[in-house]
Amino acid sequence: MTATVYTADLTRLDEIQDELYQHLLADPAGRCTTCAETEPCHRRDELGQALVRYGRLPRRRPGFTRAGMRRMGTGSADRPRVG
Ligand SMILES: [Zn+2]
């Protein structure tokens, strides 16, 4: 058995990784912000498995999963953040 990875597969890997990031975000109730399933959602699981099949472990972007959280108690109400 060979483990050749073609260029098309690498492109697909990036797509999988990008989609996976969208399913790493959860709302305060613990639901995926993309598909609204309780995390870890079904799609996140599938995408993670797909990456493993390609021989690549899912990566995380530091701080990315905190993107949906608001900072509380900093007194910066005069600067509404648009996300
Ligand atoms: Zn999801």
Residue 19 CA, ligand 1 centroid: distance in Å: 9
Distance from C-alpha of 58 to C-alpha of 40, rounded to nearest angstrom: 13
Q: Where are the domains of the chain?
A: 8-63
Listed in sequence order, the residues at least 6 apart from 33 whose beta carbon sits closer than 8 Å to its beta carbon are: 22, 25, 26, 27, 68
> 37-49, pLDDT tens digit by residue?
999 999 999 999 9
Query: How do the pLDDT tens digits run along the chain, 83 residues long?
Result: 555 656 777 788 889 999 999 999 999 999 999 999 999 999 999 999 998 888 877 666 666 655 454 454 455 455 556 65
| Distance (Å) from CA 76 to ligand 1 centroid | 31
Ligand 1 geometric centre to CA of 20 (Å): 8
